[in-house]
Structure 1
């Protein structure tokens, strides 16, 4: 899970819930937490965590953008993007949407129209480009809650556990 700030929001809860149903789940502390630079986060994910074809990557906010970048380079089972940001259509050439789509067996996305940090249009744009299954709410803000059962439900469904 990225960003790996385990004591914030729903991350610790999700990690515990995933372990309960038999998954290995990690949410390590990330370097450069405040700035979330691709030049630091992407090598950290690829070199220190390792990513395999059977992995499900979960990213929130800047972490969602990081796992999209990772998926440009490696194949994964699935991506779960929460409040995924994307800033401007002129940046499309900098993203390899086709590669992301090809490298993930499935992509689920969560966003709330009342998110004060990430514009809903940017998340909708990502959904269109990668053809994710898109879940939009109007009352979840930036998903700064302490529990997030929707993510568990999606993982169970995608892994044939529900």
Structure 2
């Protein structure tokens, strides 16, 4: 059975936003869904997040989908720079990629201050999805535009969606569910 991971962002946790809803939806489609709890904001370092992920490494294969929300998307990109397998789908939702103007820069900079190795990233996922909005108060739209450009994929632009979190009304995210299911079928 294929596994889907959902990575939260800064100050995040597995039960927030649309994560439980997406987990339930994807389980109904036969997927195993894992939402790790990463240390945040205390001990929010790349190494600490990699330490958490190592516990789940054995679940990652060519059928795996990983969804990264906010800083979880930046972590997903760092993971794709290193992992020895090529996953099925990598999905970025409101992810910072180092474009100036990102809020929480001090706590997030270890994840985004060095340039991403986009070539290595492209070699470790079969397909990519990038979602962003025009009114994200934390991660400017230019980040989503840059990620889509670097990954050679269209940007899934959703106006007035904020940071795709509960504060923006995102406790369900059918566009994301549908995009993942469609991408996995293609």
Name the TM-score, length of structure 1 as normaliser: 0.89
For the residue of structure 2 that corresponds to 1:95, the secondary structure is: coil
Q: Once the two structures are superposed, what CA deviation does each residue of 1:50-90 show, in whole Å capped at 9, x if it has no partner?
A: 1222210001000000011111112211101100102248x
> Which one is further off, 143-152 or 130-139?
130-139
- Corresponding residue for residue 28 of structure 2: 20
Q: Once the two structures are superposed, what CA deviation does each residue of 1:100-143 show, in whole Å capped at 9, x if it has no partner?
A: 11211000010001000001112211111122331112210000
For the residue of structure 2 that corresponds to 1:72, the secondary structure is: helix
> Which one is further off, 151-160 or 140-149?
151-160
- Corresponding residue for residue 73 of structure 1: 82
- Corresponding residue for residue 14 of structure 2: 6
Unaligned runs of 5+ in 1: none
Unaligned runs of 5+ in 2: 1-5, 101-111
* Paired residues, number: 158
- Corresponding residue for residue 103 of structure 2: none
Contact map agreement 1:5 1:11 (CA 8 A) in 2: no
> Which one is further off, 53-62 or 124-133?
124-133
2:183 to 152, 158, 161: 158
- Corresponding residue for residue 44 of structure 1: 52
Deviation at residue 93 of structure 1 after TM alignment: 6.2
* Root-mean-square deviation over aligned CA pairs: 1.9
Matching of residue 55 in structure 1 with residue 64 in structure 2: yes
5 Å-filtered alignment, 1:81-92, equals: 81-88=92-99
- Corresponding residue for residue 145 of structure 2: 124
For the residue of structure 1 that corresponds to 2:171, the secondary structure is: coil
Contact map agreement 1:78 1:104 (CA 8 A) in 2: yes
